[in-house]
């Protein structure tokens, strides 16, 4: 199996930024991934599978994160991460119904 390395920029759209709920969604999403996932923001790089590390990045609304995914399921992992950021980790749908 070929090891793939993908890099992409994602934007945090949530009003509260990357707080506990989105961080939990990210960690749960990555639990099944075989890839190494790194988030980089303002010069800091962290393991995206660690909820504490994500929270310590303190990314606010409209923050740009560089996502690096390396491993055999990198493509699928990157796609699901991008979708999660795009959908504001399920928080947008709750507001849209009101």
pTM over 0.75, yes/no: yes
Q: Mean pLDDT for the chain?
A: 92
Nearest to 30 by CA among 93, 87, 85, 92: 85
Nearest to 7 by CA among 38, 41, 48, 44: 38
What is residue 92's predicted lDDT score, i.e. its pLDDT?
72
- Any idea what the Cα angle at residue 41 is, between residues 27 and 93, rounded to 5°? 50
Q: Percent of the chain beyond pLDDT 90?
A: 88
**What are the residue numbers of the active site?**
19
Nearest to 25 by CA among 92, 71, 75: 92
Digit-coded pLDDT (tens) for 35-55: 999 999 999 999 999 999 999
Q: How far apart are CA 95 and CA 97, in angstroms?
A: 5
> Does CATH number 3.30.1340.10 belong to domain 4-96?
yes
What is residue 91's predicted lDDT score, i.e. its pLDDT?
80
- Domain boundaries of the chain, sorted by first residue: 4-96
Which residue carries 């959908």 as its tokens? 87
């Amino acid at each position: 199996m070929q090891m793939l390395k993908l890099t992409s920029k994602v934007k945090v759209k949530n009003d509260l930024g990357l707080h506990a709920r989105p961080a939990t969604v990210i960690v749960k999403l990555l639990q099944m991934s075989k890839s190494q996932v790194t988030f980089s923001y303002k010069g800091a790089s962290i393991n995206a599978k660690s909820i504490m590390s994500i929270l310590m990045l303190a990314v606010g609304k409209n923050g740009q994160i560089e996502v690096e995914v390396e491993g055999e399921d990198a493509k699928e992992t990157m796609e699901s991460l991008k979708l999660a950021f795009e959908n504001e980790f399920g928080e947008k749908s709750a507001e849209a119904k009101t």
